[in-house]
Amino acid sequence: MKRNLYIWIVAVLLIGFALAQNAGDGIAAVFKQEEPLPTETGPRAGLLAPGFSLTAMDGKTYNVGGTKDKAIFVNFWASWCEPCKQEAPELNSLAAKYKDKLDVYGVNVTSYDKLKDAKAFVDEYKLTFPILLDEDGATYAKYNGVAFPTNVLIDANGVIQEVILGILPEEELERKIKAVIKR
């Protein structure tokens, strides 16, 4: 009777050990602690994204800041900006491809642009993601805007993961988006 009990204990231990080996770091992951969220807000990677609320061309108000269901990609642009024209089709494509995991917001910095030109830009490039209007440039200033386009990748916890000045090849931008979505 005692012998059978020892056999059972050894068998259970061996099975448990085998399962643990096959699970990789699955068991260890249960005991890992999450990194604490930053408490400081600012316009650079590793800090909480400065919050803002802007009205879009569709008449709706959109909010950025804090924890969300999805990661966020904010694109600050102006209609006269040549690199903005180059990346517009790519952003449209990426917004459609990742719509379930990423909110893409185009922010027209209207204080550096004209509303009629911004509307013509949206029509010309058939942009399907929300186009927010930063009429006084205050939101762009919160992000220390210095160039168009400026792209900000924010994870679902509201933490800026990267600020990109100018444009990137589509493959590189998509790689960065995938990394933020996985966080």
pLDDT digits (tens, 9 = 90+) for 42-65: 999 999 999 999 999 999 999 999
Strands (E), the chain: 52-55, 61-64, 71-77, 102-108, 131-133, 150-154, 160-165
The residue that leads in pLDDT, 22 or 83, is 83
The residue that leads in pLDDT, 27 or 99, is 99
- For 147-163, write each residue's pLDDT tens digit: 999 999 999 999 999 99
pLDDT for res 38 = 82
The residue that leads in pLDDT, 20 or 101, is 101
The single residue listed with the structure tokens 């050894």 is 10
The single residue listed with the structure tokens 């998509």 is 174
Angle at 181 between CA 168 and CA 110, to 5 degrees: 55
The residue that leads in pLDDT, 38 or 61, is 61
The mean per-residue pLDDT over the stretch 73-79 comes to 98
Rounded Cα distance between 177 and 167, Å, is 14
pLDDT for res 11 = 46
Cut 0.85: pTM above it: no
Report the mean per-residue pLDDT for the chain. 87
